[in-house]
Structure formats: C-alpha cells, structure tokens
Amino acid sequence: MNIVYVFSDSPGEWNCSEWRCAIPARAINTTNAHHAALISLLDFTRGATAAEAACEAADLIVVQRNLFGPTLAAIQHWKARSKTVIADFDDAYDLMTPGNSGYRFWAQGLVGPPDRPVRINPPPLTQFKWGLRLVHAASMPSKRLADDWASHADVHLMPNFLDLPRYDVPRPEAHTGINIGWGGSLSHPQSFTGSGVLPALRRLCRARPEVRVTIIGDRRIYALLPLPEEQKIFRPWVTHAEWPRELARYDIGVAPLHGAYDERRSWIKVLEYMVMRLPWVASDGPPYHELRPYGWLVKNDASAWERVLFDMVDHLDDYRAEAQREPYLFAISQGAEGNVEKILATYAAIHERAKAPLPARSVPVPLCAQALR
C-alpha cells in the first residue's frame, strides 16, 4: 500500500503532525511491502508538482485536520481519481474554550489581526462537517472523539504511538530537590484551574520546600501557579526532538484534565511519562482510563491531588522503582514500529470498503467544495 500523509502543522508549531503523520509514516517505511510520504497541506491544495506526483501514486491519502476552504476541493479532486481519502484529527474543535489558542478560529470563525478581524463564511466547523461527509473515513486517537463524530463519518480509533528511539536520552546529572513537571501547548489553562491541582501544589510546596514545579510551553499556567518564584520554573516550548531531554529533568509528571474538551484528548502525555520511567499522577478522565494500572488517577479535588502528591514526594524511591517495571514495559509495547501492522490493517479495511460497489441508495454529499472555489 502506498500512503500519503498531508500534514497541517507549520515548522514553528510542529507537534500534532509529528504524532499523526510523521511517526506513522516512518513506521510504515520500515516495512518491506508498504510506503508512506509526507506532503504539506499548502502543497496539497495548490497542486504543487511533487505533491501531485505523490498523490497520483498513492492508494490512500490521509488529510490532517484542516477540512475547510481549498482542502475540500482537493479532497474531491483526488476522490474523483479513485483515491481513498481519510481525515485525521485529534482535537474537539466544537468544544474549545476561550483559553484555547484555537478558540478564535474554530468557535468564533475569525482570522486576521484582533483590530481588523475577518469572519470566515461558512464557519470553519460547518466546513469541517462537510469535509467529514466527503472523505471515506476519519481517524482519531480518542474514543470520545470517535463517538462524537460517528454520525458524520466512518470513524476509526488510531492511537498515538511512540517513536521509541527518541526517548533513549541520558538522565541529567543529579540535582537537589524534587521536580514536578508538566509541558504542553496553549490549550490547557482550564486543565489546571478546574482540576484542583493548583491548591494541592501550593500546600505541597509550603510543606516540602525541596519541591519545584516546572512548566514548559505556556507561561499563563506558570503565572497561575500559587507558588513562590524560587519554587517554580518556566521553560519555553522546545521542538519535538528536544522534548525528551526536558522530560528527563522531571522526577514526577502530572497530567490534569478538566471539562468536555479535555475528555477528548489522547493518552500521550501519560504514556510519555511511562516510557521515561517517571512516576505520574493524572486526573481520572477518559484519556487515561486504560493506563490506570500503571500510575495514579485522582478525582478533580484538591485533597485527592494533595494526598497522592505528598505520598509520591515522601516515598519517591519506591515510586521510581515501580515506574521501572510494568508501566515502562507497557509503554515500550506502544511503539509505532511494533504497532505498524495495526495501522496498516485499519487503512486496508478503509481502502477495501472505499473500493466496494456503492449501495443502491446513498446519501448525497453537499457540493461544498465547488461553493468554496
């Protein structure tokens, strides 16, 4: 099978495209019988020569997230040439809150500078739903997301798998104190304000002056921490390649969740803690239910967070020893190369269904791409 991934991230924001496109593509290219290529969304929609050649040779095209504007026309173009087209996305765009960096676009339909905004018409979410009607199937890393969009497309759960060699990094030299860490994109303020983790960290740090909390990526969350400056650390966001070295600085990882949007996240934050052999505590939410045997899930209550964090800090050596065993073994079982046959089997099933004869009566697809030319 020949697969083309159409990635949507720009170089400066490269993250989701690594998980949803680049990592599976590299895994597929380790096989002897299959091939995967990466092209940008811009080249896909503009019909760049190399992108055209890649899609022409493809059996299946995976288009990441941006199902609006000229992307819809490009999807119709390649469907008309008998290509199987899948949409892949990993966020609940319909449930974004104002603290999310994508809220202005997805919820309000606005682009351009704040003082001269331009409203998109039809709204992005409307076009996104059109796009799901156009494609043969959709894949996502969250069961909740799959359930949400099952009425709009043939949905398939496709977990985020790990690029295992990337996490083979040396631990930093021994440091004093205990570092509790978190890093993430600009979509998590409500995860901290609504989960109860902030007051728990305040009480922990007052009672245990050796504890430090490191926030990577979102300075707003650093500002929310009710801690003295000497007990909190901010680091700017780093590239995907550099990220494991930052994880290696942690002693304990946290993964708070709050609200409907967070319930649709993937398991990757906790899975990365596990592959780095880090003890972790997370909100008891759907993204992490499968990982319950390998760490601590707590209700979104400050006292629940506090009890577990105090126990981890006070018995850190025991928790570290536990993190070296079953949690780590499970994490390394979720490598992309080791699961490539699952990825390919999903694509093969979608491709086979796309090539099957159409039923006698089918649901008409709106001519949205023509309207957006």
Q: What domains lie within the chain, and their CATH numbers? A: 2-161+339-371 (3.40.50.2000), 164-332 (3.40.50.2000)
Q: Report the phi/psi class of residue 43: left, alpha or beta, with left for phi > 0 and alpha for psi in -120 to 50.
A: alpha
Residue 191 CA: distances (Å) to CA of 167, 250, 308? 26, 19, 18
- Average pLDDT, integer, range 290-295: 98
Residue 207 CA: distances (Å) to CA of 227, 311, 314, 367, 373? 12, 13, 11, 63, 62
Q: How confident is the model at residue 172, as a pLDDT? A: 84
Assign 356 a pLDDT band (cuts: 50, 70, 90).
Answer: confident
83-96 pLDDT tens trace: 999 999 999 999 99
Residue 365 has pLDDT above 90, yes or no: no
What is the overall mean pLDDT for the chain?
94
Residue 371 has pLDDT above 50, yes or no: no
Q: How confident is the model at residue 236, as a pLDDT? A: 93
Q: How confident is the model at residue 359, as a pLDDT? A: 62
Instruction: Collect all residues with Cβ–Cβ distance below 8 Å to 327 and sequence separation of at least 6.
Output: 274, 277, 294, 295
Q: How confident is the model at residue 186, as a pLDDT? A: 81
Q: Measured in whole angstroms, how far is the alpha carbon of residue 258 from the centre of its chain?
A: 16
Residue 350 has pLDDT above 70, yes or no: yes
Q: How confident is the model at residue 128, as a pLDDT? A: 98
46-68 pLDDT tens trace: 999 999 999 999 999 999 999 99
Residue 358 has pLDDT above 80, yes or no: no
* Among candidate residues 241, 233, 172, the one with its CA nearest the CA of residue 201: 233
- pTM for this prediction: 0.93
- Average pLDDT, integer, range 146-162: 98
Q: How confident is the model at residue 187, as a pLDDT? A: 87
Residue 361 burial (CB count, 10 A):
5
Assign 290 a pLDDT band (cuts: 50, 70, 90).
Answer: very high
Q: How confident is the model at residue 368, as a pLDDT? A: 47
Assign 130 a pLDDT band (cuts: 50, 70, 90).
Answer: very high
180-236 pLDDT tens trace: 999 998 888 999 999 999 999 999 999 999 999 999 999 999 999 999 999 999 999
Residue 173 has pLDDT above 80, yes or no: no
Residue 367 has pLDDT above 60, yes or no: no
Residue 361 has pLDDT above 90, yes or no: no
Q: Give SS3 for 253.
A: strand
- Average pLDDT, integer, range 113-124: 94
Task: For residue 115, report the phi and psi dihedrals to the nearest 5 degrees.
Answer: -85, -15
